[in-house]
Amino acid sequence: MPAGKTVALVGRTGSGKSTVLSLLPRVFDPPPGTVFLDGVDVREWDLGALRARIAPAPQETFLFSATVAENIAYGAYDAAPEAVQAASRLANLDGDVQGFPAGYETRVGERGITLSGGQRQRAAIARAVLREAPVLLLDDCLSAVDTQTEEAILQGLRGEMRRRTCLLVSHRVSAVREADEILVFDRGRIAERGRHDELLALDGRYAALHRAQQLEEEIEAS
């Protein structure tokens, strides 16, 4: 995958998308000679240096019992409040936070407010964006918001994504159609790969997924 490009992964639940993403920061160790970053086998990298270059927004976010600002700045402790807010704005979270009793100083978790699934996911995106790492991993991190909101958030993130190398997982065709390459996963293997138009022309799994989701959207809209 060329640096600076966006590659999207789609496919059934359990087909191996998250597993592939987790090989890059070595959550799982890939076999030698299989996964490289900047031409160097991830196993040869110093683990800290490798992970400093990767900003993950995982499928399941972990939030601490701390303020909203502290949660966003996790991994970027020296970030200025303005930078935290800018990242939050990019993730489309700022409006929500402004409505909290103490804004960015509102506590999250046991002693504070509970964030909705969609708010948690957007906090994870803000956290990843703030890290300023060259590689961004977005693992289905907008599944809890509706299709239109997902599109709006991704539109806002496009600039960030263009500045970085981005691996994007989503269940929705609408979220991946702009990617430089789309990989369709099936039972741990890549079943189809190409750009949106190429995959539609192929008329295989991706095209079927596209048709099914278009139908769903039409039903939702009516």
Ligand X SMILES: Nc1ncnc2c1ncn2[C@@H]1O[C@H](COP(=O)(O)OP(=O)(O)OP(=O)(O)O)[C@@H](O)[C@H]1O
Binding site for Mg ion (CB under 5 A): 18, 59
Quick one: 18 or 71, whose CB is closer to ligand X? 18
Which lies closer to ligand X via its Cβ, residue 60 or residue 220?
60
Residue 13 binding: pick among Mg ion, ligand X, none (C-beta 5-8 Å cut-off by kind): ligand X
The nearest distance, CB 104 to ligand X, in angstroms, is: 30
What does the alpha-carbon distance between residue 126 and residue 86 come to, in Å, rounded to a whole number? 9
Residue 16 binding: pick among ligand X, Mg ion, none (C-beta 5-8 Å cut-off by kind):
ligand X
Q: Buried b / exposed e across 82-111, counting CB within 10 Å, b at 16+?
A: ebbbbbbebbbbbebbeebeeebebbbeee
d(CA 134, CA 88): 18
What token pair was written down for 59?
A: 């499928």
Our measurement of the distance from residue 38's CA atom to the centroid of its chain's CA atoms, rounded to an integer in Å, reads 21
CB of 139 to ligand X, least distance (A): 7
Nearer to Mg ion, 162 or 189 (CB): 189
- Least distance CB 11 / ligand X (angstroms): 6
What's the rounded Cα separation, in Å, for the pair 105 and 111?
Answer: 13
- The structure tokens listed for 130 are 């703030």
Q: Read off the tokens for 23.
A: 């090989």
Residue 156 three-state SS: helix
In the complex with Mg ion, the residue whose CB is nearer, 21 or 108, is 21
**Interface residues toward ligand X, by CB under 6 A:** 11, 13-19, 59, 140
Q: How far is the CB of 34 from Mg ion (least distance, A)?
A: 20
Comparison of 88 and 170: residue with beta carbon closer to Mg ion: 170
Provide the minimum distance between the beta carbon of 56 and Mg ion in the complex, in angstroms, as a whole number.
12
